[in-house]
Amino acid sequence: MTLCKDDYFFSFTENEYGISIIANAEAIEKDFLPALQSAECTELDAPAGIFRVLQVDDERGQGGSGKRICEISEPLTRKRFPILYISTYQTDFVLVSEPQLCQVMEALREDGFEIESALPEIRFDLVTPHWNEDEGVLLDEGDKQPPSPIADPSRFLLATSVLVNELQCVGLNKHDRSIWVQTVLKILCYPELVQSDCGPDHKRFCSFVATSDDISIIADKQIIAFFDDSSLMQEQDAPAQKVIQVHFSGSNTDRYGIVRSISKPLSIDANINMLYLSSYMTANIIVSADDLERAVSIISPQKDLLIC
């Protein structure tokens, strides 16, 4: 596992509940927020605080994704650290609050993970979290407001939905940017140009993640078909994939245990492989079409399921 540099990280996730963007803090403050505010975006929300990115180095590839997600989230849930988790074609990323970074890295090391830092030195003023048994939340020294609600996702689960779309996860060759960059811009900014055959009620799902080293996209198969095959990295004979969207009330950025509560019953207990994408108010779980029915029954056994 590697602590990523600050040079470049960008994540765009769109589902039926909204769009979540994770990018360099300066870009968010100087580019995204002013543009959205000038466009009078009424449902704009930007949580306070800076996140740091840990890149997961694992030789198991996508075939071991579900178990990897569970193994990483388990010690962090045990220590009550909120995380965001992003699966991509090449690797996974774990996003943690900057003030908790050193504690998170130490918790992972204690659990047997090796962590390399791409930065010369890390210095943070650390505070020791205290567990308030009466309130069920974390309290940092000097904090008057508890930052981390208790880990019981069912308490703030609003809805679970499944898109009819068949998805595909691929990597993009960074050396072929000149070939695929216009297609990516159309997909992210002008989706109507690549979804002409879709009806007005079509619900789309798209995840685009780019770093200095890797670029990955998860989208409808018909959208992936717009790319030149020579620019793609993809699994041969990969099964059709579906996305389960778990929608929560409020932000996921300060809640611990969500990733673990979903990944363990699926990947460990039921042996269902999965990809996981955290967004601002949803958990997006991608499984093979063959595993979809079982996965839904495990994630949301008593909730009304929406088919979109």
The pLDDT tens digits for 238-281 are 888 999 999 887 666 777 889 999 999 999 999 999 999 999 88
Scored b (16 or more CB within 10 A) or e, 113-142 reads beeeeeeeeeeeeeeebeeeeeeebbbbee
pLDDT band at 122; cut points 50, 70, 90: very low
206/186 Cα distance (integer angstroms): 12
Query: Where is pLDDT greater, at 3 or 225?
Result: 225
Contact present, 16 and 161 (Cβ < 8 Å): yes
Range of the domain at 15: 2-161+241-307
Does residue 153 belong to any structural domain of this protein? yes
pLDDT at 264: 94
Does residue 196 belong to any structural domain of this protein? no
Planar angle of CA 9, 283, 203, nearest 5 degrees: 95
The H-or-E segment that residue 18 falls in is strand 18-22
pLDDT at 16: 87
Does residue 266 belong to any structural domain of this protein? yes
pLDDT at 150: 46
Instruction: Flag whether pLDDT at 143 surpasses 90.
Output: no
Cα 228 from chain centroid (whole Å)? 26
Q: How many domains does the chain have?
A: 1
Average pLDDT, the chain: 82
| 43 contacts: CB under 8 Å, gap ≥ 6 | 18
Contact present, 100 and 138 (Cβ < 8 Å): no
Does residue 171 belong to any structural domain of this protein? no
242/134 Cα distance (integer angstroms): 40
Strands (E), 82-221: 83-87, 92-97, 116-117, 130-132, 137-139, 157-162, 167-172, 206-211, 215-220
Does residue 228 belong to any structural domain of this protein? no
Does residue 189 belong to any structural domain of this protein? no
